[in-house]
Amino acid sequence: MHLSDRWTTQDDSVIFHSKHIDVREEINFYNMDNGNAQIANMTYLEDPTSGSNYVYNMTTKGEYDREFGWRASLKGDQVKNVYIEGVRCVNPDCDLVQVPDVPISDETKYWSNATTWPSGEVPTGGDVEIEPGENIIYDLEDSPIFDVVTVNGRLSFLDDIDYLPKLNLNAKHVFVRAGELLIGNETHPFQAQAQITLYGSRGDAQVKMSGTVEAGNKIIVSNSLVSFWGKPKDLMTRLDAPVYKGYENMQVGTGLNWEAGDQIYFAPTNLHPYHAEYRKISSYDAASGTLIVDDAMDFYHYGGRDNSADYNGVDMRGEVINLSRNVKVIGDDSNDWGCVMLAADRIEADRSVRVGEMVLDNVEVYHGG
């Protein structure tokens, strides 16, 4: 800010006010007439000098959420030149270390092999990085709970249903910054059981995208590629006969690839919207369409022949939807804080842009979204 030569000591002060949306950790004012000496914040009430200011830089909603102002005046110390600076981040580690773009190696390494890791030991906690260019296959039935799993190379899940029918990766954050996180692919959907379990609570540390821009916690973040392809599952059928309170056996469509243990949803069919029910399959016969659930039903659900011709093409029979998939992202449900899956672009320190992509096909997300 520069005051023109027309400004005099007799002129009244002018206060400038400005809102700001983008987060700044600091907003600083400097007296350019005095060697860029910093002017203290929150001084505009008692100091008539140019550059005296107020800064309300709250990151939560409030009366003065992200607003600042400053004084222009030749009163007081008669300062004519003021430099105003907004600082995104004041800590030296705000900007992540630049990640080189390295082609993914054709040589695969296994997570469970100690020689895979620079330390010579399989990680047992803390932070883990899949380094640029590395091509690592996750092959653990279960893992410790890691703080942050950063993927800057390629991390893919082993799909060998005979050798390892279930795999689970536990972490607070999974940050796919410059690499790939893969479970199956479009032409070869994953056949075994794969799960990523995310942990955390509302007040825990968050993943920083850059500077002070936080993405959240209990999260999978993709600034590159996350691609999960589960085994295709028949999504929905309808009731072929009425279901009454107390029923465990019922008739649904035939030829479904449903299995014992699958979680299913029964939609309400009357004027009570809360008569939806969740059950697990005890058994299902694809030839006859006989479905047996693990617990007796609490409410009536309409079923019968296909009567859509009688209702202008609307099938009135109760919907039965299969919610289970063999690839899962689960938010630990020991608290009320759900998990998050986020794909977002990222601007690196060199101004290059990473484009976030997330492909989920036949994937189950529980306690999150």
Q: Can you tell me which residue has the tokens 């060998």?
A: 160
The yes-or-no verdict on residue 308 having pLDDT over 90 is no
What's the pLDDT tens digit per position in 143-153? 999 999 999 99
The yes-or-no verdict on residue 92 having pLDDT over 60 is no
**Paired tokens of 349:** 């320190």
What's the pLDDT tens digit per position in 34-50? 999 999 999 988 899 99
pLDDT of residue 212: 57
Q: Which residues contact 195 (CB under 8 A, 6 or more apart)?
A: 166, 167, 168, 169, 327, 328, 329, 330
Residue 349 — pLDDT band, cuts 50, 70, 90? low
- Reduced to 3 states, what is the DSSP secondary structure of residue 308? helix
**Paired tokens of 270:** 């009357």
Classify residue 194 as exposed, middle or buried by CB count within 10 Å of its CB (0-12, 13-18, 19+).
Answer: buried
Q: Which residues contact 48 (CB under 8 A, 6 or more apart)?
A: 13, 71, 73, 75, 76
Distance CA 365, CA 369 (A): 7
Please indicate whether residue 215 or residue 343 has the higher confidence score (pLDDT). 343
The yes-or-no verdict on residue 59 having pLDDT over 60 is no
Distance CA 307, CA 322 (A): 23
Domain 236-322, CATH class in plain words? mainly beta
Question: Average pLDDT for residues 168-176, to the nearest whole number?
Answer: 97
Element (H, E) at 193: strand 193-198
pLDDT of residue 111: 98
**Of 367, 364, 363, 347, the residue nearest 355 (C-alpha):** 347
Average pLDDT, the chain: 91
Least confident among 20-29, 162-171, 273-282: 20-29
Residues 262/322, Cβ–Cβ less than 8 Å: yes
Residue 9's CB: how many other CB atoms inside 10 A?
9
Domain residues of the chain, as ranges?
14-87, 109-232+327-366, 236-322
The yes-or-no verdict on residue 61 having pLDDT over 60 is no
Question: Average pLDDT for residues 159-180, to the nearest whole number?
Answer: 96
Residues 116/110, Cβ–Cβ less than 8 Å: yes
What's the pLDDT tens digit per position in 173-200? 999 999 999 999 999 999 999 999 999 9
Residue 23 — pLDDT band, cuts 50, 70, 90? low
The CA radius of gyration of the chain, in Å to the nearest whole number, is: 30
Least confident among 15-24, 61-70, 86-95, 168-177: 86-95
The yes-or-no verdict on residue 73 having pLDDT over 70 is yes
